[in-house]
Each structure stands twice: as C-alpha cells, then as structure tokens.
Amino acid sequence: MPEIQNPNLQSQGPGGGNTRSTMIFWLLLLMVFFGYETFFNKPKPETGTPAAKPTQSQQAAQPAPSATPSPATAASRKSAAKAPASAPAPVITAAAENETTVDNELYKIVLTNRGARIQHWILKKYSDSNGQPLDIVQPQASARFGLPLSFFTYDPDLTTQLNNALYQVTVSGAQSSPRGPVLAPATITFRYAANGLDIVKTLHFNSSYVIGVDTEVKRNGAPVRALVAWPGGLGDMEEFQPSFHGAIFTSAASQFAWSLGGKADYTKAAKVSDDATFDEPYSYAAVADLYFAAAFLPYDLDHTTVVTMHHEVELPGNPGNSDSQKKTAQVIGMAMGDTTGMTRLRLFAGPKETDVLSSIHAIGPDGKPTGESLAPLIHFGWFSIIAKPLYLAVRFLRGLLGPGADNWGWAIVIVGLLLNMVTLPSRLMMTKSSLKMMRIQPKVDAIKKRYANLKLNDPKRGEMNTEMMALYKTEGVNMYGSCLPMLIQMPLLYAIYEVLENAIELRQAHWLWIPDLSGPDPTYVLPALFILTMFLVQYISPTPGMDPAQRRMMAFVMPVIFGFTLFHFPSGLSLYWFVGNLINLGIQIGINHSSVGKEMHAIAARRAAKKAGAGAKTIQGRR
C-alpha cells in the first residue's frame, strides 16, 4: 500500500516543477516519518538549577526537578530526629541472610531478608534474547542503584541502615513445603527492631501480577517518612549484559508515567529529574519501557508522595569491547509512600499487555480498586486514533489464525492486504487526476511560456498563477489529486510502526526466517525485497518525458533510500510495506492495461520523444 508514485505530468518549466515538487514532498515525508524521534521527540537535557516543587498543573505536564526538600519536610525530619526516645524495644533481627521464594503461575519472586527487598522477579511467560525466563529486576543496574522494595528516606545514613538490616521473616496463609517455595496466595512479614528503629514490611501475594505492600518505619517511637522504591530500571535493559549486540539501547525508550486528577501522562527518561519530590494525589505512578512496567498504586491518594530517580550510565556500544565508543544508558526509578509515615500501596510489575493492564485499577472514591486502569501505560504516539484499531485488528486476525508462532506475521500480511484494498479508490482517483493533468499539460506550458521572461519577484507572475488556476477549474483538474494517497498512507504507515514497536505480543514473535518482528531483519532480506518491488512499481509506472537524471532519482535512488532506512526499523514494518508494494505492482499492471493506462503511456511516450529531440536517451516505464 505505501508507494512512490511517479508524477504523471510533464515538467513545468526548465526546472521540472511538478517532478521536483513531488520528489521534495516525498523526501519531506520521509524526514517526518523516520526522523520523528530525532527531530520532534528528542529528549532535551535540563538546564539551570533545580526548581521549587511544582504545582499540580505543572506536574500534570511534566515532573520538574526539586532536589531540595521543602521547609516543612526539613522541619519534620528535625522534629523526628529530636523526638524523645521511648522505652527500649526488644531487639528483633535475623542471625544471617536468607532468601524466600514466592511462586504463582505468572512469576517467581525471590526475596532477601537483607533490607526486605526483591532480588529476582522472574516473569514465567516471557524470555530474554537468550531464551531464558525474563528477570524484570535488572541485575547490573540494581546492584548499583538498589533493589526493588528498597526504602528511600531523605537521610542517606538511615536509608543505608534500613536497606542493610537483617529482618526476621514470617510466612502466613501459604501452601508450602519445608524445602519448596511459598505458593501464593500468601503473606510475608519482615520485622526489624534495634538501635531505636522499629520497622515492619508486609507483602501480600495472590494469583496476579500485583502484590500488596504495607510498611511502617519508626525511629525512637516517631514515624519516619520512608518510601518504597523501584530504583534500578527494568530487566529488559539488555545493554548492561555482556552478550548484548543490539544497535539501540532499550533504556532509551524508558519513561516515567503517572495519572493525576484522572489525566494520564508520561515523560521520557532523559527529562526525568533526580530526587524530585511530588506530594500529589497520584492514582498511580510507574517506571516503564516499551514492553514492561513497575507501577505503584497507593491506597490513600490524598497523602501520596512520589520521588523520581534518574541516573546516566556510560556503557560501551559493544559490551564485548571495553574500548568501543561509549553510549549513555538512562536508568530511571521512583519511590512512593505516604506523608504520614505509614505506607500502604499495591505494586504491579509485569507486561504492558492490554488485557492485563485493563484489569488493574487504581483506588476509586469508594476506597476500592474501581478507579482508572493502567491501560494508558501503552502509548501509540500521535496517531493512536489509527494505531489502536490497527493493533486490535492484528490481534483479532491472529486470534482467528490460531496460536501458531508465525501467525502474528501472517496477521500483518492480511492487514496490509486489507488496507491496500481500502485505499484502492484513492489510488484510482490519483491515476485519473494524473491523466487529466497530462491532457492539459500543453495548455499549461503555453501559459508558462507567455510569462517565461518575467523575474521571480515580478508582480505579473500572480496573473500567471491566476490563469493556471482558472484553467484547472475549467478542465475539472485537482492539482493536488496525486498527493491524496500519500497523505492517507503516511499516517497508516506511522501507526503500524507504533503498533509494531509498542505491542508486547509482537516482541520476539517470529515469522518464517525472521526471529523478531519488533526488531530489524538480521538477514536484510525484507529490506532488499522492499527495494526490488518499489523499483518495479516505479519502473512500470507511466511518466511524462522526464529528464533522465530525474527519472533515475525516482526509479532507483528513492527505493534505495527507503530500503536502507528500513534496516534499522522493525521487520514487521518492512513486511507490511513489502506486501503493499506487491499489491501496488499488481494494481499498476492492471492500470497499464486499461484504457486510462494506455492513454497515459501514449502521452508519456510522445512527450519523451519530443523532449529527446535528436536522439537523446530517456528511460520510460514498461507495461
């Protein structure tokens, strides 16, 4: 369906007006489509000193930095530090570090009693690029910045103490064997009391991706504002692994997402501030990448406090070569708690799959999980109004085809076929519009010839344009008719790109020789087929006696430019576009054998011969 259609009208003036305009138009569209992330959505580094804590309206647009706690916060810390010591509490601590494993059908979670934190959160239904079950706790980043369920406080020494203490572990409500894992549903309580601290962290597990987290931290009997953190990014950041060989860091797509006042929003990783505090009624807040998310959902929205975390790590572009050019990996995290000191929330850590996210709701006005869902964590970009139906269509077709591993690819093929059939009327309209333009081209040339000696800034050129517009109106010609199919196709193309990049179902979905439709084709076969089919469509399309250099540009160079660009884009996009080219090739052959096509070829041949003059060579489309 996406195509490069030659302008079927003679060049206007010495510079080849319509031909050049069409080529420029396509180049601009190419820049808009493939350069969107670079030119329009490129994260801009923050400058200046940290700002004061933003208002609610400012936060809804983008979290602003606030590295220094408010006076009220500082005062609360001082009061907590000066609180009179209560009666000595009994010492409660573990003798040694140990692990507890919790199992259900979706995950296996390994907890350590050192800091009462999560060491591994393994998603059983997903795997990494090496075929191993995916651990959503990224080991290298977590070792540097902290494990999930770490405590965060404004006192670094206290934070270190909370996260290194050895907690006693109590398991209740679980089915377990002496040597086996704890089977959900279950409740695990971590307790530590010593040196004036009294800490309780209770985790509730069920059959879903969501766990309950209740914490209470007291120092000398006074409550401490201790937040629960997910500080070290997500396990899909394989650029930290020595076996990583990709061209693009997954962490570049990470983001901080939230919902405030019923409005969901997000910001790119590079724009997330470090140690910025927000005391606002968040329905949820999350760190996420393309396919996975860790989202906190508080029970008491009115007393919710959120801290964002941002780290930049310089990694070798080739992890196997420490001397290779360094790239910046963005590692973001967050912490959530309650301003009263007692925190009660739910934590979702799992796939950004539509049905899963739609089933998880924030706390509503009734105090129950009846609020908005986590579905907005999936972003389809500017053209989400087109991308969402496309995603649903691909998923529906895959369901009809069955659970076969290749069926996601075949669903893309069918969607490409259907969309080309839908846009066929616009293509036929473009062909008829081109024929009308070719018929009146001699009259257009006559008008231009009369004004040929005028300078570009001569006011009389306005009379030429008025005369040409009157001619178009009289002949019933729409001078922009040939652009309409392009304007229809580009949003569809961008929408399918967003679907392929953001739909977790297409992650590691293979098709024939392609191992992952969401990544580039490692064999470059699809981009090569795309170049070949686009060239054939160009070659058999009728053209007005075009200058040979311009003809080569349209027939050879443009397919190569588009094809090589696809080397770095999802192979599912190449598949979709290749299918469109095959269909367009068949359609163009049919047009060439119709009366309209024959007339267009005849006009093009006459004008090519006239322009060739005394034997100059031209390249014409074949039937």
Q: By the 8 A CB rule, do 43 and 253 touch? A: no
Q: Give residue-wise pLDDT tens across range 126-144.
A: 988 878 899 999 988 999 9
Place of tokens 């009462």: 116
- Phi, then psi, of 561 in degrees rounded to 5: -60, -50
Q: What percentage of the chain exceeds 70 in pLDDT?
A: 76
Pairing label, strands 210-219, 255-260: unpaired
pLDDT score of 107 more than 80: yes
Residues 408, 414, 418, 421: is their CA dihedral positive or negative?
positive
Query: Between 260 and 436, where is the model more confident?
Result: 260
Q: By the 8 A CB rule, do 435 and 597 touch? A: no
Cis peptide leading into 14, omega within 30 of 0?
Answer: no
Query: Between 611 and 1, where is the model more confident?
Result: 611
- Residue 387 structure tokens: 């991308």
Q: Give residue-wise pLDDT tens across range 305-315.
A: 999 999 988 88
Helix (H) or strand (E) holding 379: none
Q: How confident is the model at residue 484 (pLDDT cuts 50, 70, 90)?
A: low
Query: Between 483 and 28, where is the model more confident?
Result: 483
pLDDT score of 545 more than 60: no
pLDDT for the residue 3: 40
Helices of type H across 171-255 = none
| Average confidence score pLDDT of the chain | 78
Place of tokens 């093009």: 604
DSSP of 325-366: PEEEEEEEEEEEEETTSEEEEEEEEEE--HHHHHT-B---TT
Question: 407-422 and 384-401 are packed helices; what angle lies between their axes, rounded to 10 degrees?
Answer: 130
Helix (H) or strand (E) holding 302: none
Q: By the 8 A CB rule, do 225 and 153 touch? A: yes
- Count of helix runs (H) and strand runs (E) in the chain: 16, 20
Q: How confident is the model at residue 517 (pLDDT cuts 50, 70, 90)?
A: confident
Query: Between 414 and 88, where is the model more confident?
Result: 414
pLDDT score of 181 more than 60: yes
Q: By the 8 A CB rule, do 199 and 193 touch? A: yes
Query: Between 577 and 358, where is the model more confident?
Result: 358
- Residue 303 structure tokens: 């007393």
Q: What percentage of the chain exceeds 90 in pLDDT?
A: 33
Helices of type H across 146-182 = 156-164
Q: What is the mean pLDDT of residues 94-105?
A: 93
Q: How confident is the model at residue 247 (pLDDT cuts 50, 70, 90)?
A: low
Q: Give residue-wise pLDDT tens across range 15-39.
A: 334 444 445 555 555 555 555 444 4
Q: Which domains does the chain have, with CATH numbers?
A: 17-33+387-612 (no CATH), 88-371 (2.70.98.90)
Q: How confident is the model at residue 192 (pLDDT cuts 50, 70, 90)?
A: very high
Q: What is the mean pLDDT of residues 168-191?
A: 84
Q: What is the mean pLDDT of residues 485-500?
A: 78
Half-sphere exposure of 429 (CA within 13 A, CB side): 17
Q: How confident is the model at residue 43 (pLDDT cuts 50, 70, 90)?
A: very low
pLDDT score of 77 more than 50: no
Distance from C-alpha of 342 to C-alpha of 202, rounded to nearest angstrom: 12
pLDDT score of 177 more than 70: no
pLDDT score of 498 more than 90: no
| 147 Rama class: left (phi>0) / alpha (psi -120 to 50) / beta | beta
Q: How confident is the model at residue 262 (pLDDT cuts 50, 70, 90)?
A: confident
Distance from C-alpha of 556 to C-alpha of 330, rounded to nearest angstrom: 40
Q: Give residue-wise pLDDT tens across range 354-407.
A: 999 999 999 998 888 999 999 999 988 777 888 888 888 888 888 888 877 678
pLDDT score of 95 more than 80: yes
pLDDT for the residue 38: 46
pLDDT score of 209 more than 90: yes
pLDDT score of 42 more than 80: no
Q: By the 8 A CB rule, do 147 and 156 touch? A: no
Place of tokens 């695990």: 188
Q: What is the mean pLDDT of residues 465-488?
A: 73
pTM for the complete prediction? 0.75
pLDDT score of 293 more than 90: yes
Question: 558-565 and 17-34 are packed helices; what angle lies between their axes, rounded to 10 degrees?
Answer: 0
Sheet containing strand 227-230, strands side by side: 150-152, 227-230, 326-338, 304-316, 276-279
Q: What is the mean pLDDT of residues 485-494?
A: 75
Residues 258, 260, 262, 263: is their CA dihedral positive or negative?
negative
- Residue 592 structure tokens: 């060439």
Vertex 403: Cα angle to 579 and 397 (nearest 5): 45
pLDDT for the residue 519: 81
- Residue 195 structure tokens: 């040196």
Strand partners, 203: 188, 213
Q: What is the mean pLDDT of residues 174-178?
A: 63
- Residue 312 structure tokens: 């930049």
Instruction: Find, among 229, 218, 212, the residue nearest to 340 by Cα.
Output: 218
Helix (H) or strand (E) holding 110: strand 107-112
pLDDT for the residue 4: 37
Displacement of CA 6 from its chain's centroid (Å):
33
**Surface-to-core class of residue 451, CB atoms within 10 Å of its CB (0-12 exposed, 13-18 middle, 19+ buried):** middle
DSSP of 447-471: HHHHTTTS-TT-TTHHHHHHHHHHH
